[in-house]
Structures are given as structure tokens and as C-alpha cells.
Structure 1
């Protein structure tokens, strides 16, 4: 089954590591086989990966964009996702995290990112509801390997 990408004017998309930018009008691009694809609007910048879910998202995104990171990052991604699964107590968030873990196992990183987006939104809601609480964090070594542990659950998690 082919994937149809409807690109907005000047929108960017990364396909198997290659950045493609649309011209000044709408365009539909059809991808006929499996490819690692991410829209420019879905790309998280490293400096914005400041929370546990965003760090997991950034690592998975890096796995999508760079085969070397994909080859070395699956263990770190699995550890981060397992920790997120036990941190969030809402069943719908755990389900999304579990789906993301399954997609990582299948090397379908875009679907893993899609599964995590609502978890990122929920995390942002929790963190904005508790401004006095310090933002929990994962410590990583720059490649996404977890160096520390998250001390507890999110407020209301």
C-alpha cells in the first residue's frame, strides 16, 4: 500500500535521511515502498528535548534519521520506554507507550513517534499543572544511553 504525503508549500520532509523540500504550492508525493519518513513539522530539536518523553522521542527520531543510531540505540530506547511505562499510571498513556515500544521493535520509528505524540502532550499538561515541581529528567550520555534513573512518578501521572 502506497503512502501519499500531501505537502504544504515550502514544507520539508525527510525520506531515508534525504531532506526533500516542496516548492511554493501544494504537492502530493507517493511513496510506493517502506521508507523512514518524517515531516519537518514533526522534528524535535535537541535543545527542546528537556523532559523524559521528549528525550525518548528525540532518541527515536534520531534512530529514524541515522541508521548508525538505530543500530546502537534500541537498548537505550527500550530502557527509556520501559521507565516511561512504569511512570505513567493512566492506561491510555501506557497503551501508547507500549505501542511505541512495539513499533521500535519493528523498526517502524515514525509510528513509534506518532504513538508518543499524545504522551508528550499529556506530559506537558502535567508539568504545566505542577509549576513548583522540578521537571523529572533522564540523564543520557549524548547518544541516548540512560545514565540515571527518574526518581518518581509525574504528579497526577
Structure 2
């Protein structure tokens, strides 16, 4: 099944490590095969890693985009996830952390990222993160 992406004017995305920028008009791309794709809104820069949940998101993002160095990023993920899980006790957040960890173990990095965005939202609403 093909993936259909609608891009806003000047929106960027990364496909298998290549940064693609849309021109001045809305456009639609159709990707017919498996590829690592992240939209601009889903990409964290190092300066954006300001909270514990974002510290979990970042190595998952790197595993997804740079699958040649997964072991390096996985170690960082484990450290950050362990720290986070030791600091929380909310059942929903713990369940989300377990789900993210399972996704990472199964190499389903995109799903792990989308679940980690939920963890970032939890952090914002419950713990006052930014």
C-alpha cells in the first residue's frame, strides 16, 4: 500500500536521510515502497531535547533514520527510558513506556515515535514539561 503525503508550501521532510523541501505550492507525494520518512514537525533537533520524554524520543528518531547505527542509539534509549520509568508511577504512562519499549525491541521505530509523542504530551500535561 502506498503512502500519500500532502505537503504544505515550504514544508520539509526526511526520506531515508535525504532532506526534501517543498516549493511554494501545496503538493502531494506518493511513496510506493518502504522508506524511513519523517515530516518536519516530527523531527527534533538537539537543542529541542529539553525534557525527559524528549530524551527518549531523540534516540528512537535516530534509530529510525540511521538504521546503520541502531546499537549506539539503542543504548541511549535504554538509559533514558529506565530513568523515566524510575521517576513515574502513573499506570497509563508506565503502560505507554512498555509499549514504546516493545515497539523499539520489534524495530517498529515509527510506531514507537508516535507513542513517544503521547508520552511527551503526558509529560506536558501532568508534569509541567515544555
Normalised by the size of structure 2, how large is the TM-score?
A: 0.83
* C-alpha distance in structure 1 between counterparts of 2:78 and 2:66, whole Å: 17
* C-alpha distance in structure 1 between counterparts of 2:21 and 2:41, whole Å: 12
Paired residue for 2:113?
113
RMSD (Å) for aligned C-alpha atoms: 2.1
More helix by share: 2
Q: What are the ranges of 5 or more consecutive residues in structure 2 without an aligned counterpart?
A: none
Quote the offset at 1:76 in angstroms.
2.8
Aligned residues: 129
* 2:60 matches 1:45: no
Indicate if the aligned counterparts of 1:10 and 1:23 stay in contact, CA closer than 8 A. yes
* 2:10 matches 1:10: yes
Paired residue for 1:60?
60
Give the ranges of 4+ consecutive aligned residues of structure 1 lying more than 4 Å apart after TM superposition: none
Indicate if the aligned counterparts of 1:5 and 1:28 stay in contact, CA closer than 8 A. yes
Q: What are the ranges of 5 or more consecutive residues in structure 1 without an aligned counterpart?
A: 130-157
